[in-house]
Amino acid sequence: MPIIRVEMHPGRTQEQKRAFVREATKAAVETLVCPPESVEIILAEISKESWAKGGKFKSDV
């Protein structure tokens, strides 16, 4: 059972997330040769106040 975890900033619409989940599942099924029911996708939205890069929070940039 493949588990795909995606971490991103909030802001995408539910329809954008639906489209991503649909296409990511399709890609996993085609490349990993597995049934769609076995593909799990976790979308974790992390605020810019909790995400840092290069020693600075994204919210400070």
Per-residue confidence (pLDDT) for residue 61, from 0 to 100? 87
Q: For the whole model, what pTM was predicted?
A: 0.88
Question: Domains in the chain: how many in total?
Answer: 1
Active site residue 2: yes
44 forms beta bridges with 7
Q: pLDDT (tens digit, 0 to 9) for every residue of the chain, 61 residues total?
A: 999 999 999 999 999 999 999 999 999 999 999 999 999 999 999 999 999 999 999 999 8
Instruction: Return the sign of the alpha-carbon dihedral for residues 40, 46, 50, 54.
Output: positive
| Residues near 10 by beta carbon (within 8 Å), at least 6 away in sequence | 45, 46, 47
- Which CATH number covers residue 27? 3.30.429.10
Contact status, residue 48 vs residue 42, Cβ threshold 8 Å: no
Taking the alpha carbons at both ends of the chain, their separation in whole angstroms is: 38
Which residue in the list 2, 10, 35, 36 is annotated as catalytic?
2
Domain that holds residue 38: 3-60
